[in-house]
Amino acid sequence: MRRSQLQPTEYASYYGNYIAQVSDEYTLVEELEISLHRFIKFVQDIPMDKFDYRYEEGKWTIKDIIQHIIDAERIFTYRALRFSRNDTTELPGFEENDYVDQAHANTRSIMELLTELSAVRYATLCLYKSFNEEELLRVGIASNVEISVRALGFVLIGHQNHHQKVFSERYL
């Protein structure tokens, strides 16, 4: 399934910005894989002195943002798993700033962060490859809004793409 097959009723409007940043050229599973390779190559081309740079006081570093992408993917994928299994429990949101404050990404190497991102994405790929059409269409409630399993997949790709764009615009 491709991004253009999503219906606006499958996600909250504020997720539309992320979803719009995903190519319609590839299927969801293909884009999960391709976008990871594209992101890693992009990050590997960033000068080493930029990984701990903050473009403004109080803003996250590139390492912080990569850790944030990892954490968000884990959370989105957990939601997808729960919803795909017909779990109707409403799931809470999460405070991204608290997660970044507690993750200590700046004490880690960029290679450690990219390795972890790759491992998390591999697990995400395995999970999404296991879903059938019915499971992809299932909907649950997280952060007080309805979202489908397949929309969550596109959101996590678009979220990564969004931050890559921020790197280009504000950090490089």
Residue 62 pLDDT class (50, 70, 90 cuts): very high
The CATH code for residues 3-171 is: 1.20.120.450
User: Amino acid letter at 46?
Assistant: I
Q: pLDDT at position 32, please?
A: 98
**Domain locations in the chain as residue ranges:** 3-171
Residue 128 pLDDT class (50, 70, 90 cuts): very high
Helices (H), 85-148: 96-103, 110-130, 133-137
Q: pLDDT at position 127, please?
A: 98
Q: pLDDT at position 70, please?
A: 98
Report how far residue 67's alpha carbon sits from residue 28's, in angstroms, rounded to the nearest whole number. Answer: 22
- Give 57's DSSP letter: T
Record the pTM. Answer: 0.96
Q: What is the mean pLDDT of residues 127-139?
A: 98
* CB-CB contact of 156 with 99 (8 Å): no
- Tell me the average pLDDT of the chain: 96
Q: pLDDT at position 114, please?
A: 98
Q: pLDDT at position 90, please?
A: 97
Residue whose tokens read 């909250």: 12
